[in-house]
Structure 1
Amino acid sequence: MKAYVFPGQGAQFTGMGKDLYDNYEQARTLFHKANEVLGFDISKIMFEGTAEELKETKVTQPAVFLHSVILARVMGTSFKPDMVAGHSLGELSALTAVGALSFTDGLKLVSERALAMQEACEMQRSTMAAILGLPDDTVENVCKEIEGTVVAANYNCPGQLVISGDVPAVEMACEILNEKGAKRALILPVGGAFHSPLMEPARERLAKAIDATEFEKPMCPIYQNVTTLPVTATDDIITNLIYQLTAPVKWTQSIQEMIKDGATEFIEVGPGRALQGMIKKIDREIEVSQAAV
């Protein structure tokens, strides 16, 4: 069975999507539509912008979404997933690619999500850190013992867990985890504590936008970050999407569930190859590849 997976923030690069724009009329139409919906020329930033410009939250999330969704559209009938999943932001790309959201509604939600997260980041100094080389339960237990807010945020693959919270708590966790033998405990260059309780204001703002959006039944099950289980009912999709901002991204568990349910090949749709690397660390026998047209 074929599983298609969609990357999240951090996969962006200068020039992303330019080959699609140059070679496919459908891609050009969708990029022009995106510029119109967002109210600024995102395609120009994607094709020619600097790394700094692409890092702006209002640009990054829509850019990664557009690259993934337009690639899936251009693939046409060769895009035939038996199941899908998306890493964080990638969940909205996946939902749009499998028809649960229209292109315009998906893009509007991604833009609102980016702005809501940026607003929440500005309310409190917060950050994230990658912890490498320790068991998940060791990291979880250290987070529980620390004063302040620090939680496990991204279960990327065995031995790679990202934590998230207020700056002093994350720094303290890194110090203790280094003492416990972490290969690395690295503060990440992000603007805030994504997938933690500090994103509650963003969750509330995004919930209003999601509630006002029409969802359809997807063409195949989506394994959502919050539950890791296959979902097709729109009510469940909506609930999980709303809580995703304050809940951890259970990527390892989602991939394991997909393999248990019959996935034999994982195809990454969008910029970068980060998800393929993570999947290989979850199960080195599984086949991974990059979507192409």
Structure 2
Amino acid sequence: MSTCLIFPGLNGLMRRADRGRFIELPEVQEYFKRAEAALASRLNLTVNLNQLVQKEKDEIYAIENLSLAAVIICSIQCGVYKKLESAGLKYDWLMGCSLGDNARAIAAGSYLFEDAVVNHVHFTKNIEGVDKIGANIGVAAKVSHPFSSEDMAWFEEIGTDASHLTPRFLNIGGRFKELQLIRERAKEKRWAVMPILDYPAHSRYIAPYVEKVEDEYRTVSMTAPQKRIFSSLSCKELKQPEEIREEILLCITKTIHWHRAIETLVSEKNVTEFINIGPCRSLSGMMKDIPVDAKLTEASELIFTEEAAD
């Protein structure tokens, strides 16, 4: 039996409850201070993360603040991880979902926190216009009618990129006109459609923004992981710093195979428990739709139960 820690992505601050769940932890505040100091000293950028995280969702996720939202999420995840590790938590694997790959790499000892924060802000500073291309949506099918191979072929045929997160939930990045086709088809299929991000994350359509920085990004320093990393992009263990670095870049434009990664960890790596680092619970909600025999535990349950006992 083994345990895997899971790190959610950029949707981590969508709900007010998620934004406030771990903010008061001293470990999180420590990472906020470290992030602010690194941005000030290396990019001459003065920010107050505690002030930003108190804003409304639309302001936090505005294009001009998007990189800082990512910094907040990464800082919270690193603080939560430090709290759990200090308490003696035993685990075997680390897996991130999209942006969560950064905190996952930091937790594994592959990536320095300050480097991750500074690099993310630096490499995403010229993304003006990305919200004019398209968007990222969630599409949920009925429990009784999960997405078929024909459905997946149709999404590909119309030129969208669908990440298969569970048998009945997709994260889809695409241009506005193709996303409208999905909304129209959803009425016929009785799918639920929900907005996620105001730019086409995990799709080919933001490749031009990635291509501008990929040569410089490949000079980013990473080391071999000290903890075992599993990829939700390639569904395999990552052992080399080069592949860890490459996948952090690739997950911006490529689809994620979350439920296949979960199934592989359970069937091939004997994972029997997943611990959601947070701050959001989107990955927890998806677990009930993935056909595996594994326990899901919230990091918040472990942290606040222990504090109450003290």
Relative to the length of structure 1, the TM-score reads 0.87
Distance in 1, matches of 2:123 and 2:80, equals 21
Superposition CA RMSD, Å: 2.2
Give the aligned partner of residue 273 of structure 1. Answer: 281
Within the alignment, does 1:135 sit opposite 2:147 as a pair?
yes
CA distance in 2, matches of 1:15, 1:289: 19
1:227 deviates by: 0.5
1:27-84 CA-to-partner distances (Å, cap 9, x unmatched) read: 44322121122331113322x3333332231332111111101111222342443111
Q: Which amino acid letter does the alignment assign opposite residue 23 of structure 2?
A: K
Residues 216/232 of structure 1: CA separation in 2 closer, same or farther (3 Å cut): same
Q: 1:202 to 1:80 in 2, by over 3 A?
A: farther
Which letter maps to 2:169?
Q
C-alpha distance in 2, partners of 1:209/1:264?
40
1:209–1:182: structure 2 CA closer, same or farther, 3 Å change rule?
A: farther
1:282 is paired with a residue of what secondary structure? coil
Partner of 1:55: 61
- Unpaired runs of at least 5, structure 2: 40-44, 304-310
State the identity as a percent: 19
Q: Name the SS for the 1:188 alignment partner.
A: strand
279-288 vs 58-67, greater mean Cα deviation: 279-288
Q: CA-to-partner distance for each residue in 1:107-132, whole Å, 9 max, x for gaps?
A: 1233245545x43614x430123221
Paired residue for 2:100, among 65, 90, 94? 90
Q: Which structure 1 segments of 5+ residues have no match?
A: none
Q: Is the 8 A contact 2:31 2:76 kept in 1?
A: no
- TM alignment of 1:275-290, pairs within 5 A: 275-283=283-291, 285-290=293-298
The 3 A distance-change label for structure 1 pair 254 and 205 is farther
Partner of 1:201: 208
Q: Is the CA contact 1:220–1:232 (under 8 Å) kept in the aligned structure 2?
A: no
Paired AA for residue 287 in structure 1: K
What pairs with 1:97-116 in structure 2 (closer than 5 Å)? Answer: 97-112=107-122, 114-115=124-125
Answer yes or no: is the 8 Å Cα contact 1:135–1:158 preserved in 2: yes
Aligned CA distance change for structure 1 residues 164 and 52 (closer, same or farther; 3 Å): closer
Give the CA deviation at 1:144.
Answer: 3.0
How far, CA to CA, are the matches of 1:208 and 1:119 in structure 2?
20
Paired amino acid for 1:140 = M
In the TM superposition, residue 233 of structure 1 has moved relative to its aligned partner by 1.3
| Cα deviation code 1:1-34 (max 9, x no counterpart) | 01000011122134354221xxx3x544322121
